[in-house]
Amino acid sequence: MAPGPGDGTAMLRVTELRLPLDHDAGALRDAVAARLGIGADALLDHAVARRGYDARSRGRISLVYSVDVRVADAAATLRRCADDPHVGPVPDLAYRPPAPAPHVSAPRPVVIGAGPCGLLAALTLAEAGYRPIIIERGQPVRIRTRDTWAFWRRGVFDPASNVQYGEGGAGTFSDGKLYSGIKDPANRARRVLEAFVASGAPAEILVVSKPHIGTFRLVTIVESMRARITALGGEYRFGTQVTGIDLATLPDGRRALRALALSDGSVLPASHAVLAVGHSARDTFAMLHAAGVPMQAKPFSIGLRIEHPQTLIDRARFADAAGDPRLGAADYKLVQHGAHGRSVYSFCMCPGGTVVAATSERGRVVTNGMSQYSRAERNANAGIVVGITPADYPGGPLAGIDFQRRWEDAAFVAGGGTYAAPVQRVEDFLAARPSTALGAVIPSYRPGVRPTDLAACLPEFATAAIRAALPAFGRKLAGFDLADAVLTGVETRTSSPVSIARGHDGQCPEVRGLYPAGEGAGYAGGILSAGVDGIKAAEWVARAMQADAAVV
């Protein structure tokens, strides 16, 4: 029996247990007993709480475990291990949901956007009885999948239903990496993972240190989340865009949300709305800016996507252990601080995946990456991007969007104006000459590629910074600057080009009742952190609705 709370026995967590990659089945139990200084008979039970690997030394890759254990005398064991920072009580991982909805008639809370931020906000509100209304400009995930694949296969682009817009949000066609560096003492990150597992994700995402679920599973997870939200009284409106906000002026002069204008011509009364529109809601940012919602231009990154054979990356990271199923396809994370303070880094690395066409606007080319759970495609890909700041695109809060568009337009033209992406061999890119043909690495981008000169698709400083970084990356990861590795342009949607202010109560200080959240407002970067921010937004909405009810 696995240790579990409430069974009357004290549980301990032992962390940083390192074992060789090929350790046998009993080695973990022996290592736990040895660490705790107890005999094997005093170790009543153990279960792996976290599993990762350390490949920093390529010749000696180790598996690293955290293990929850039940022992015969926990108090004595803890006393004996008092000086060991890797032995302690099992941490409390419980998430405490918001207080249940008050029984007062009020406009239902609205969630704008059904990406990970909006979905977790809606789920949290629905489970506490608030019956949210979810407004999503794109389509339900199955229809959206069909539309997106039509673009990738045949170049038929739908500006209303694509990689960026639709149920599941921007990360639906992705590698489904579910990790982030955020620390959240309220256990919201754990809560996001548990919600994914309850919706069909494999339970191992609660254990492995770098969980990923791949794109196909995300589709079913998102659908099953919808089933739960609607069963709890939530309501979805797909193909419906929020196109305006109606504000009331309060007696103290501040403004408050009163209603939302929708693209079907209707007006939805709303006094609490989570704004979870993602980083590609360019028209929505413009609408909010025009309506007086304060926002600022924010730093983001631009660059190219690089593809190598996955076997090259596996070999560079794992040496003789390359291909070992316990390690899976290797990932990497690279950063190079270059001249003039420009950092170049790898972004959204997808082992064994494909480069995807990720535009949300006609006549533009944007790259990103995705993979299946198996990560079994021939190439590894990652964005190689350069950090930029509003000093690079002066001109007001929306100037970063214009800057993105300029390079996405250039990529469309360089690709031949058919949604094919411009590509270049690394050797040619470094030598500043156009590619006229490709070599051993076959690009995965669809609907097609066109060999050319990528310098036309990026500002000069970004091209120079990436040219300087690639050989440096090659010294860190053997073969990274492989002559035939393929660069595809352009990677512009790395994070939001704007940020929207919010106060300690999660609301926009100038517009009561509007809760900017997730990646689009500048509070998240990735699926997991967007989900966490959605939960936070739901908690703020619930608290405010409780307070409203108390004064009615």
Q: H-type helices in 322-442, by residue range?
A: 399-414, 426-430
In a 13 Å sphere around the CA of 54, the CA atoms on its Cβ side amount to 11
- Which residue, 65 or 347, is less far from ligand FAD as judged by CB? 347
The verdict on 385 binding ligand FAD (CB under 6 A) reads no
Among positions 176, 353, 443, 489, the unique one binding ligand FAD when judged by CB under 6 A: 176
**Contacting residues for 509 by C-beta, under 8 A, at least 6 apart:** 294, 501, 502, 503
Nearer to ligand FAD, 81 or 500 (CB): 500
Taking the C-alpha atoms of residue 429 and residue 408, their distance in angstroms, rounded to an integer, is 19
What is the per-residue binding string for ligand FAD in 122-161, x denoting contact by CB under 6 A?
-------------xxxx-----------------------
Q: Taking the complex as a whole, how short is the minimal distance between the CB of residue 358 and ligand FAD, in angstroms?
A: 5
Binding segment (CB under 6 A) for ligand FAD, from list 1-9, 78-86, 172-180, 185-193: 172-180
Closest CA to 260 of 136, 401, 114, 168: 136
In whole angstroms, the minimum distance from the beta carbon of 274 to ligand FAD comes to 10
Q: Is 46 helix (H, G, I), strand (E, B) or coil?
A: strand
Asked if residue 113 binds ligand FAD (CB under 6 A), the reply is yes
540 binds ligand FAD (CB under 6 A): no
Minimum distance from residue 269 beta carbon to ligand FAD (Å): 16
Residue 65 or 332 with smaller CB distance to ligand FAD: 332
Say which DSSP state 35 is in: H
Question: CB of 227: closest distance to ligand FAD in angstroms?
Answer: 18
Q: Which stretch binds ligand FAD (CB under 6 A): 41-49, 309-317, 399-407, 522-530?
A: 522-530
Nearer to ligand FAD, 336 or 495 (CB): 495
Least separation in angstroms between CB 62 and ligand FAD = 26
Is residue 116 near ligand FAD by the rule CB under 6 A? yes
Spatial CA neighbour of 298 closest among 386, 198, 387, 418 = 387
Q: According to the binding rule CB under 6 A, does residue 174 interact with ligand FAD?
A: yes
Piece in contact with ligand FAD (CB under 6 A), picked from 29-37, 102-110, 170-178, 226-234: 170-178
Angstrom distances, CA of residue 171 to CA of 125, 191, 204, 519, 541: 22, 18, 20, 11, 25
**Closest approach of ligand FAD to the CB of residue 231, in Å:** 21
Alpha helices of 301-443 — where are they, by DSSP H?
310-318, 399-414, 426-430
How many angstroms separate the most distant Cα atoms in the chain?
A: 72
> Closest approach of Cβ 406 to ligand FAD, in Å?
20
Q: Which is nearer to ligand FAD, 11 or 349 (CB)?
A: 349
Among 520, 532, 539, 541, binds ligand FAD (CB under 6 A): 520
Work out the angle at residue 174's Cα, subtended by the Cα atoms of residues 444 and 176, and round it to the nearest 5 degrees.
135
Written as one string, the DSSP assignment of 203-246 is GGGGTBSS-B-HHHHHHHHHHHHHHHHHHTT-EEETT--EEEEE
From residue 284 to residue 323, what is the string marking binding to ligand FAD with x (rule CB under 6 A)?
Answer: x---------------------------------------
Sole window of 60-68, 166-174, 221-229, 536-544 interacting with ligand FAD (rule: CB under 6 A): 166-174
Contact pick of 35, 46, 108, 177 for ligand FAD (by CB under 6 A): 177
Within 454-473, the residues that bind ligand FAD by CB under 6 A are: none
State the DSSP code for 321: G
Residue from the set 130, 151, 173, 332 that interacts with ligand FAD by CB under 6 A: 173
| Span interacting with ligand FAD, options 111-119, 315-323, 448-456, 467-475, rule CB under 6 A | 111-119
Give dist(CA 303, CA 307) in Å, integer.
13
Establish if 175 lies at the interface with ligand FAD (CB under 6 A). yes
Residue 356 or 511 having the CB closest to ligand FAD: 356
**By the 8 A CB rule, do 484 and 426 touch?**
yes
Positions 230 through 269 that interact with ligand FAD (CB under 6 A): 241-242
Rounded to whole angstroms, the Cα distance separating 539 from 188 reads 11
CB closer to ligand FAD, 77 vs 284: 284
The site string for ligand FAD over 328-367 (x = CB under 6 A, - otherwise) reads --------------------x-------x-x---------
Q: Any contact of residue 530 with ligand FAD (CB under 6 A)? A: yes
CB 189 within 8 A of CB 528: yes
Using CB under 6 A as the binding rule, whether residue 508 contacts ligand FAD is answered as: no
281 touches ligand FAD by CB under 6 A: yes
Based on the shown chain and the rule CB under 6 A, indicate whether residue 98 belongs to the binding site for ligand FAD: no
Q: How far is CA 202 from CA 191, 193, 205, in A?
A: 15, 10, 6
CA nearest neighbour of 126 among 256, 243, 235, 19: 235
Question: What tokens does 398 get?
Answer: 């929306």
- The strand ranges marked E within 232-377 are 235-237, 242-249, 255-262, 267-269, 273-275, 295-297, 300-309, 335-337, 343-350, 354-357, 367-370
For 135, phi then psi, to 5°, come to -105, 120
Closest to 27 in 3D by CA, of 11, 9, 48, 2: 48
Nearest distance, CB of residue 530 and ligand FAD, angstroms: 3
Tell me which DSSP letter residue 179 carries: -
Find the binder of ligand FAD among 114, 225, 273, 304 (CB under 6 A): 114
Q: Is 317 exposed, middle or buried (0-12, 13-18, 19+ CB in 10 A)?
A: buried
Binding interface with ligand FAD (CB under 6 A) = 112-118, 135-138, 163, 165-166, 169-171, 173-177, 241-242, 276-278, 281, 284, 348, 356, 358, 368-370, 518-520, 524-528, 530
